[in-house]
């Protein structure tokens, strides 16, 4: 996989692919965690909603992860 004209190119590609792995894991986790929130907002659901808001504000994991979390929060809001 190493390019003889440009040593290190193969390693750079592998490093980028490894970083994408964590981004996709974050996206999958945020999509899998989408639980329907009851409109009357019981305490457990309120805490989950606060957690979603907190995660959005922290913005960890880069732009793609932040957008996925914001989309999940939007889905929760629409379900209310």
Contact 52, 72 (CB under 8 A): yes
The predicted model scores a pTM of: 0.56
User: Per mean pLDDT, which range of 5-14, 34-43, 47-56, 66-75 is the poorest?
Assistant: 5-14
pLDDT in tens, 8-32: 667 787 788 787 777 777 766 666 5
pLDDT grade, residue 43 (50/70/90)?
A: very high
CA distances from 37 to 8, 49, 50, 62 (A): 49, 8, 12, 26
User: Distance between alpha carbon 48 and the CA centroid of its chain, in Å?
Assistant: 16
């Amino acid at each position: 996989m190493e390019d003889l004209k440009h040593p290190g190119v193969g390693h750079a590609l592998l490093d980028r692919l490894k970083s994408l792995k964590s981004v996709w894991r974050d996206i999958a986790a945020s999509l899998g965690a989408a639980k329907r929130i009851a409109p009357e907002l019981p305490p457990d659901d309120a805490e989950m909603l606060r957690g979603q808001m907190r995660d959005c504000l922290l913005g960890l994991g880069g732009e793609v992860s932040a957008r996925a979390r914001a989309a999940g929060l939007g889905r929760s809001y629409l379900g209310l």
